[in-house]
């Protein structure tokens, strides 16, 4: 069959479909998002965006109990949210096969931490597979479903950004016909009260023993014979780097990294003079291999943070980098990601900035407000944390000196903001939270969520009313503002920051990019009115720059939102085709 170029994520989706998967659920999160977007295109798969990873995994558990092969996808930090069901699911086991796909993000290309989720497989006593390219992603997912049903266990498949977002050649197969199984009542297996859980934990421990045997003989774990001088144990994309750096070495290539094949590792080590372990992030394999009494070199040569690449592996193990003098690129003007031209978050921050609130932020595009010159973020921990953090901060009176506000997006609010709001209503909070509602999950590329009115498959559905939810949770002061109206938004913010009652402000305007809004007429600078004061540049819009001292709007990039025109104190910025006002209107920004 003809080979095609697929990303790791596309290959995971294809593999799951070929394995006969009938249900897939996820919350978007880089680098895992495209798996669920891809599998949603198959008619045979009921695919869903869940409000968060915990619900996604729980729905997959239900689908598995209902007798269907099920997939739950998430990024590494998403598994923290889903860890509660995951660790007990290990005891419950499956009916239809169940795979948890977890995508780690070494180097934190788009994440708030760099945790190595391979430890979750050990924590939950669940087998783990790690593909090193797209073909393996497809093959290993299919194998994962076989393992899941044969051993009555969920299987964790762990990928990383470089596997998810690289395209490599893949041979595709057909979809396996899988019959839906009956759900047979069996409380001792499925109801985890202590008495039953004790029995199931025993089962889990025995299962690990059988899986360890399987790990010794599976073709996923294989020796590639090479020179006796050097043996390399590796898995995931690190294997590809090691292959390139040590073309003559012998390899123990592991596709199943939990449980490790102890006998195979010892046998491999006996056959070579020395052993390197090449793995990204933590010494997950290295520590276990050393505990077997096998001498290896791993993290003594390689860093425990950041992605690896062939150059890092080469240098780490003492092979010279074949390179010219290193070019210092750190002095170049940086190009950090920025809020897009026309982004409603810019309007909100422009309105809030002169009030100088402490901003407890959250995970989404609006976190980019931390960058100067906006500088509108003072803390950001995890999904939904803005609300709890701003509650605790104000609860201990810390905001008496300087007012604070919690800021999060619509999708993040629905992911894990509801309990935070409930808490601030229940525990007599006095804080203010702003939900920046842009009607999409923007940072991950514009996915639907429970308030957009559409499912992952584009079918119309119930759209939850965020203001009504907030009111139902016990907040009386709920206000909806248009962030492109700077003055009005600022007035509401100022009032709510001062009032000693809990309040929620919903800043409502669609993301122009992800919700495909029609581009509005761009703005232009009338140079005779521009005083070169620079206040328009402090909103950090990518469409604005200076040309010969004067402000200049790039009309190719400008989205016509008009925030710059509202901060100009001299009426110098007007919509194309319109005339400047005769008398300059008063600026809304304090200079």
Partner 1 sequence: MAKEDCNILIVGVGGQGNILAGKVISQAFVAAGYDVKQSEVHGMAQRGGAVSAHVRAGEKIYSPLVPETSAHYILSFEYMEILRYLNYAGPQTTALINDLRVDPPSVASGGMKYPDDTLDRVKQKTKNILVVDANKVAREIGTERVFNSVLVGVLAAYLPIKKNIWVKVYKELVKESLLDINLKALDAGLALAGR
Report in angstroms how near the CB of residue 3 gets to partner 1 at its nearest: 7
Inter-CA distances, 457 with 6, 56, 98, 171, 445, Å: 21, 16, 22, 26, 15
CA distances from 482 to 280, 431, 435, 499 (A): 45, 21, 12, 21
Report if residue 559 touches partner 1, rule: CB under 8 A.
no
Q: Which of 59, 80, 161, 447 binds partner 1 (CB under 8 A)?
A: 161
Q: Of 195-203, 328-336, 564-572, 579-587, which segment contacts partner 1 by CB under 8 A?
A: 328-336
- Out of 210, 319, 323, 356, the only residue in the binding site for partner 1 (CB under 8 A) is 323
Under rule CB under 8 A, residue 537 binds partner 1: yes
CA distances from 287 to 138, 233, 256, 299, 499 (A): 29, 13, 16, 10, 55
3-state DSSP call for residue 116? coil
Could you identify the residue written with the tokens 């509108």?
376
Nearer of residues 225 and 324 to partner 1, judged by Cβ: 324
For residues 340 and 525, which CB has a smaller minimum distance to partner 1 in the complex? 340
Q: In this chain, which stretch among 37-45, 224-232, 379-387, 441-449 interacts with partner 1, using CB under 8 A?
A: 441-449
Residue 518 lies near partner 1 (rule: CB under 8 A): no
Give the shortest CB-448-to-partner 1 separation in angstroms: 18
- Give the nearer residue to partner 1 in terms of CB position, either 181 or 546: 546
Rounded to whole angstroms, the Cα distance separating 39 from 16 reads: 8
Q: Closer to partner 1 at the Cβ: 318 or 336?
A: 336
Stretch that binds partner 1, among 188-196, 224-232, 442-450, 523-531 (CB under 8 A): 442-450
- 546 in contact with partner 1 (CB under 8 A): yes
Q: Which stretches does DSSP call E strand in 313-431? A: 358-360, 404-409
Q: Is 333 in the site for partner 1 (CB under 8 A)?
A: yes
Among 309, 455, 515, 517, binds partner 1 (CB under 8 A): 309
Q: How many binding residues for partner 1 (CB under 8 A)?
A: 55
- The reply on whether position 583 binds partner 1 by CB under 8 A is no
CA distances (Å), origin 19, targets 1, 26, 140, 174, 266: 18, 18, 10, 9, 33
Please list, in sequence order, all residues whose beta carbon lies within 8 angstroms of the beta carbon of residue 292, skipping any fewer than 6 positions away: 262, 265, 266
Minimum Å gap between C-beta 409 and partner 1 is: 14
Q: Which is nearer to partner 1, 88 or 309 (CB)?
A: 309
Cβ proximity to partner 1, 329 vs 579, nearer residue: 329
CA-closest candidate to residue 130, choices 269, 279, 298, 27: 279
Q: What is the largest distance, in Å, between two alpha-carbon atoms of the chain? A: 87
534/584 with CB nearer partner 1: 534
φ and ψ of 57, to 5 deg: -65, -40
Alpha helices in 430-587 (DSSP H): 466-472, 486-498, 563-567
CB 249 within 8 A of CB 200: no
Site for partner 1 in 443-502 (CB under 8 A): 443-445
> To the nearest whole angstrom, how small is the minimum distance from the Cβ of residue 417 to partner 1?
21
Q: How far is the CB of 232 from partner 1 (least distance, A)?
A: 12
Tell me if 352 sits within 8 A of 405, measured CB to CB. yes
In angstroms, how far is CA 397 from the centroid of its own chain? 33
Position 338 contacts partner 1 (CB under 8 A): yes
For partner 1, the binding residues in 91-120 under the rule CB under 8 A are: 109-110
Binding residue (CB under 8 A) for partner 1 from 185, 329, 462, 582? 329
Among all chains, which residue has been given the structure tokens 């007798």?
Answer: 67
Q: Give the containing element (helix H, strand E) for 376.
A: none
Q: Least distance in Å: CB of 54 to partner 1?
A: 22
Q: Does 169 bind partner 1 (CB under 8 A)?
A: yes
The residues pairing with 545 across neighbouring beta strands, listed in sequence order, are 552
Verify binding: residue 337, partner 1, rule CB under 8 A. yes
Least distance to partner 1 from the beta carbon of 324, Å? 6
Q: Is 542 in the site for partner 1 (CB under 8 A)?
A: yes
Q: At what angle do helices 76-92 and 53-65 cross, to 10 degrees?
A: 30
* Stretch touching partner 1 by CB under 8 A, among 270-278, 304-312, 471-479, 496-504: 304-312
* Pairing relationship of beta strands 46-49 and 23-26 according to DSSP bridges: parallel
Query: Shortest approach of partner 1 to residue 496 CB, angstroms?
Result: 29
Q: CA-CA distance, 502 to 432, in Å (whole number)?
A: 6
Distance CA 134, CA 7 (A): 6
What one-character-per-residue DSSP string does 480-515 give? Answer: EE-TT-HHHHHHHHHHHHHSSS-EEEEEE---TTTT
Decide: is 138 part of the binding site for partner 1 (CB under 8 A). Answer: no
Binder among 15, 20, 22, 31 for partner 1 (CB under 8 A): 31
Q: Under the criterion CB under 8 A, does residue 336 sit at the interface with partner 1?
A: yes
Look at residue 282 and give its three-state secondary structure: coil
Binding part of the chain for partner 1, among 92-100, 329-337, 385-393, 425-433 by CB under 8 A, reads 329-337
Of the pair 92, 443, the CB lying nearest partner 1 is at: 443
Binding site for partner 1 (CB under 8 A): 3-5, 30-31, 109-110, 133, 161-162, 165-169, 237, 240-241, 243-244, 309-311, 321-324, 326-327, 329, 332-340, 365, 368, 371, 373, 443-445, 534, 537-538, 540, 542, 544-546, 556
């Amino acid at each position: 069959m003809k080979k095609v170029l697929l990303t790791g994520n596309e290959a995971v989706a294809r593999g799951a479909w070929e394995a006969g998967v009938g249900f897939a659920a996820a919350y978007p999160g880089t680098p895992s998002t495209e798996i669920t977007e891809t599998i949603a295109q198959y008619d045979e798969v009921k695919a869903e965006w869940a409000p968060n990873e915990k619900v996604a995994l729980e729905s997959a558990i239900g689908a598995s109990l209902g007798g269907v092969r099920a997939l739950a996808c998430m990024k590494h930090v998403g598994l923290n949210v889903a860890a509660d069901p995951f660790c007990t699911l290990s005891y419950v086991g499956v009916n239809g096969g169940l795979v948890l796909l977890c995508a780690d993000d070494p180097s934190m290309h788009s994440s708030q931490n760099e945790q190595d989720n391979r430890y979750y497989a050990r924590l939950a006593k669940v087998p783990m597979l790690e593909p090193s390219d797209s073909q393996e992603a497809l093959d290993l997912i299919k194998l994962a479903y076989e393992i899941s049903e044969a051993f009555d266990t969920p299987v964790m498949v762990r990928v990383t950004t470089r596997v998810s977002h690289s395209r490599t050649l893949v041979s595709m197969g057909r979809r396996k016909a899988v019959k839906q199984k009956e759900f047979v009542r069996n409380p001792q297996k499925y109801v985890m009260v202590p008495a039953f859980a004790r029995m199931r934990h025993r089962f889990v421990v025995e299962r690990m023993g059988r899986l360890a045997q399987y790990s010794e003989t599976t073709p996923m774990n294989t020796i590639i014979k090479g020179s006796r001088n050097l043996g390399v144990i590796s898995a995931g994309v690190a294997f590809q780097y090691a292959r390139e750096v040590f073309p003559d070495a012998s390899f123990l290539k592991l596709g199943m990294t939990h449980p490790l094949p102890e006998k195979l590792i010892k046998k491999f080590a006996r056959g070579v003079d020395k052993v390197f372990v090449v793995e990204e992030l933590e010494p997950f394999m290295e520590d276990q291999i050393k505990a077997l009494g096998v001498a290896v070199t791993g993290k003594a040569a390689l860093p425990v943070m950041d992605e690896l690449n062939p150059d890092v592996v080469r240098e780490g193990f003492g092979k010279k980098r074949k390179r010219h003098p290193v070019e210092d690129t750190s002095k170049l003007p940086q190009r950090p990601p920025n809020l897009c031209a026309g982004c409603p978050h810019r309007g909100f921050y422009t309105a809030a900035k002169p009030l100088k609130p402490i901003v407890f932020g959250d995970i989404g595009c609006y976190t980019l407000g931390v960058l100067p010159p906006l500088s509108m973020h003072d803390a950001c921990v995890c999904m939904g944390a803005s609300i709890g953090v701003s509650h605790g901060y104000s609860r201990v009176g810390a905001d008496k000196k300087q007012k604070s506000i919690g800021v999060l997006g619509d999708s993040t609010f629905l992911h894990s903001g509801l309990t935070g709001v409930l808490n601030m209503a229940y525990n007599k909070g006095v804080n203010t939270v702003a939900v920046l509602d842009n009607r999409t999950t923007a940072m991950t590329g514009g996915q639907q969520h429970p308030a957009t009115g559409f499912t992952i498959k584009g079918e119309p559905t119930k759209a939850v009313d965020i203001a009504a939810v907030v009111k139902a949770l016990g907040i009386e002061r709920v206000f909806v503002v248009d962030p492109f109206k700077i003055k009005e938004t600022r007035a509401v913010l100022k009032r709510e920051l001062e009032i000693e009652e809990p309040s929620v402000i919903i800043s409502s305007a669609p993301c122009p990019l992800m919700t495909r809004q029609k581009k509005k007429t761009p703005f232009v600078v009338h140079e005779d009115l521009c005083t070169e004061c620079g206040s328009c540049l402090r909103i950090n819009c990518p469409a604005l720059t200076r040309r010969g001292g004067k402000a200049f709007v790039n009309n190719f990039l400008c989205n016509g939102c008009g925030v710059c025109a509202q901060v100009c104190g001299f009426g110098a910025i007007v919509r194309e085709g319109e005339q400047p006002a005769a008398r300059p209107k008063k600026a809304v920004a304090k200079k």
